[in-house]
Amino acid sequence: MQATVAIMRSPEGVAPCIWMQAEVVPRKSCRINFDCPSCRFDRVMHGIAEENRREREAGRIPGGKRGKIVSWKEKLMGLSPSRRPCLHHMKQRIEYKACTNEYRCGSCDFDQYFHDQFSVHAVVKPVDVLNVQGFSVPQGYYFHPGHTWIKVEEGATVRIGVDEFAGRLFGPLDSIEAPLMGKEVQQGRADIRIARGEHRAEIVSPISGVVTAINPILREEGSLASQDPYSEGWIMSVHANRLREDLKGLMINQESADFMAEETDRLYQTIEETTGPLAVDGGNLGEDIFGNMPELGWDRLTGLFLQRKF
C-alpha cells in the first residue's frame, strides 16, 4: 500500500476529548494523550451509550440528557463520508484524513499501515509514576499479580513487560524469552521465560492473545528489563482477543499501588525471616535483591512472587 502520512506530535497537556470532537458532549478535555482504554470517562460514556441503544432496540425512548447520549462512532457516522475524521486525526497524529471504513479500525488498511510504519517500534513512556516504598508504579498501566504489566495502545493491541519489583528482586537477567510472533499467549499461563546464570523461571502472561511483536534485545540482554522496565525493557506486543474480559482480572492505578505496598511488605517479611532486619538498608531495597541475598533462594522467590516455577 502506497501512502504518505504527515505525522503530528500530540501536544503536551490538554487536548479535546474524542467525545467532544464528535459533539456528543459540549466540553471535555483529554489529559492522558488519548489513552482511551484507561480513561474512566470513556468507559462510563460507552456504558451509557450502550444502555441507550438497548433501550431504543426494545422500543423504549430513554429520557433526560442522559438518554440523548450515543457513542461517538454513531454520532460521526451521521456525517457525510467526507466529513468523518479518521481516528488517527482525532488523536492528533496525522493531518486530516476521512475515515473510509465506518470506524472499523481492525479491518482498515490505513490503520494497519499506520501501525506497521509508526507504532510497532514505539516505546511506551510513563508520564505519572507513583513511588510505593521505593518501587515505581506508573499510572495508566495494568498490573497482573504475577508482576507483569500491560499498556493498552491502539484498539486491542497491548504492550507487555515485567514490573520494577520483579526486575529488582531477581536482578539483572541474562535473557528473557517471549513466544514467537504469531504464537498465542494466555492470561495466567507461564508463557515468558527468564534466565540468570543457572537459574530459570517462568512468568505468567497478564493477558490472552496473539503475539504481534517481540523485543529481540532481551534474548541477549535481559538486564534491560531491570534497568528500564516500563519503556525500553518491554517484552512483547499482543493483539488481545478478549481485552475487556481480561482487564477485569488486572489492577490499575491505586489498586496497583496498594498491591505493590502489600508485596513489598511481604518481601521485607521474607528477608527478615531469612537474614534478619539488618538486611534492609535504610528502609529501601537494593537494585539486585537476589544477587545480594542469594540465601533467600531463587526457587523460593519465584514461588512466592511469580506464582509459577520453571
For the stretch 155-183, pLDDT in tens is 788 999 999 999 999 989 999 999 988 89
Rank 4-8, 105-109, 228-232 by mean pLDDT and report only the highest. Answer: 228-232
Is 247 a residue whose pLDDT tops 90? yes
Rounded mean pLDDT, 185-208? 94
Is 3 a residue whose pLDDT tops 60? no
DSSP the chain: ------B-PPPSS-EE-HHHHTTSSS--EE-STT-GGG-HHHHHHHHHHHHHHHHHHTT----TTGGG---HHHHHHTS-GGG-B-HHHHTTSBS--B-SSTT-GGG-HHHHHHIIIIITT------SEEEETTEEEETT-EEETTTEEEEE-STTEEEEEE-HHHHHHH-S-SEEE-PPTT-EE-BTSEEEEEEETTEEEEEEBSS-EEEEEE-GGGGT-TTHHHHSTTTTT--EEEE-TTHHHHHTTSEETHHHHHHHHHHHHHHHHHHHHHH-GGGSBTTB--S-HHHH-GGG-HHHHIIIIIS---
- Angle (CA) 4-5-9 rounded to 5° is 160
Q: Poorest-confidence range of 69-73, 117-121, 171-175, 283-287?
A: 117-121
Q: Poorest-confidence range of 89-93, 186-190, 246-250, 289-293?
A: 89-93
C-alpha cell at 128: 505519572
pLDDT band at 38 (very low <50, low <70, confident <90, very high): confident
Is 121 a residue whose pLDDT tops 70? no
C-alpha cell at 87: 481516528
> How high is the pLDDT of residue 280?
43
What are the domain boundaries of the chain?
15-119, 124-310
Residues 148, 163: contact at Cβ < 8 Å? yes
- Angle (CA) 15-20-24 rounded to 5° is 165
pLDDT tens digits, 49-87: 999 999 999 999 888 889 999 999 999 999 999 999 999
| Class of the domain covering 124-310 | mainly beta
pLDDT band at 122 (very low <50, low <70, confident <90, very high): low
Residue 103 to residue 101: CA distance in whole angstroms: 5
pLDDT band at 119 (very low <50, low <70, confident <90, very high): low
> How high is the pLDDT of residue 127?
64
pLDDT band at 232 (very low <50, low <70, confident <90, very high): confident
> How high is the pLDDT of residue 142?
95
Rounded mean pLDDT, 118-145? 79
> How high is the pLDDT of residue 276?
74
Which percentage of the chain shows pLDDT scores above 70?
88
Residue 162 to residue 150: CA distance in whole angstroms: 9
Answer yes or no: pTM beyond 0.75.
no
Q: Poorest-confidence range of 92-106, 124-138, 187-201?
A: 124-138
> How high is the pLDDT of residue 309?
42
